[in-house]
Amino acid sequence: EVQVLEAGGGLVQPGGSLRLSCAASGFTFRSYAMSWVRQAPGKGLEWVSAISGNGGSTYYADSVKGRFTISRDNSKNTLYLQMNSLRAEDTAIYYCAKEPFTDFWGAMDVWGQGTTVTVSS
Amino acid sequence: QTVVTQEPSLTVSPGGTVTLTCASNTGAVTSGYYPNWFQQKPGQAPRALIYSTSKKHSWTPARFSGSLLGGKAALTLSGVQPEDEADYYCLLYYGAAWVFGGGTKLTVL
The pLDDT of residue B72 is 98
Report the C-alpha gap between B39 and B60 in whole angstroms.
Answer: 10
Distance from CA of B99 to the nearest CA of A (A): 6
pLDDT, position A61: 97
| Interchain contact, B91 vs A114, CB within 8 Å | no
Please check whether residue B54 touches A, CB under 8 A. no
- Per-residue pLDDT averaged across B5-26, rounded? 98
Contact (CB, 8 A) for A44 and A30: no
pLDDT band at B13 (very low <50, low <70, confident <90, very high): very high
Q: Which pLDDT value is given to residue B64?
A: 98
**What's the whole-number average pLDDT of chain B?**
97
What is the rounded CA–CA span in Å between residue B37 and residue A108? Answer: 10
- For residues B71-82, give the mean pLDDT: 98
Largest CA distance in chain A: 40
CB contact under 8 A, B98 and A108: no
Residue type, A88: A
Q: Which residue of A has its CA nearest to B42?
A: A42
Q: Which residues of chain A have pLDDT under 70?
A: none
